[in-house]
């Protein structure tokens, strides 16, 4: 018996592999801080994070933006970034090394 890989199967309306968002109880301020910290660790600064939050595609983040407004959101994002920083990565190649 061979089973098709989930990526190769037809997507059905009740497919358990379909991603869907749900609301869960929890500390919303903590969730906000962790979300901002996650983006900061991926290299996003305050302006880049705000651009993401303005976009309705990022539903959870966008809801924070709508609830807090631009200035409060900016202030809170800056507070988190002051605490954790923004990760910046660069790569240098030695021209004498072969790849």
Digit-coded pLDDT (tens) for 13-59: 776 766 676 777 888 899 899 999 999 999 999 999 999 999 999 88
At residue 2 the predicted structure's pLDDT band, cuts being 50, 70 and 90, is low
- How many C-beta atoms surround the C-beta of residue 84 within 10 A? 14
Instruction: For residues 22 and 27, give the distance between their C-alpha atoms in angstroms, rounded to a whole number.
Output: 15
pLDDT confidence of residue 99? 59
> What is the C-alpha to C-alpha distance for residues 22 and 11, in angstroms, rounded to an integer?
20
Q: Which residue has the tokens 């595609």?
A: 57
Rounded Cα distance between 85 and 83, Å, is 6
- pLDDT for 1 beyond 60: no
Tokens of 34: 């962790």
* CA–CA dist 57, 65 (Å, integer): 12
d(CA 53, CA 43): 15
């Amino acid at each position: 018996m061979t089973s098709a890989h989930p990526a190769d199967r037809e997507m059905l309306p009740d497919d358990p592999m379909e991603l869907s968002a749900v609301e869960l109880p929890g500390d919303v301020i903590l969730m906000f801080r962790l979300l901002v910290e996650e983006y900061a660790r991926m290299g996003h600064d305050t302006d880049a994070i705000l651009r993401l939050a303005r976009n309705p595609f990022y539903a959870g983040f966008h809801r924070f933006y709508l609830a807090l407004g631009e200035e409060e959101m900016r202030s809170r994002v800056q507070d988190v970034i002051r605490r954790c920083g923004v990760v910046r990565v660069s790569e240098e190649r030695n021209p004498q090394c072969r790849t």
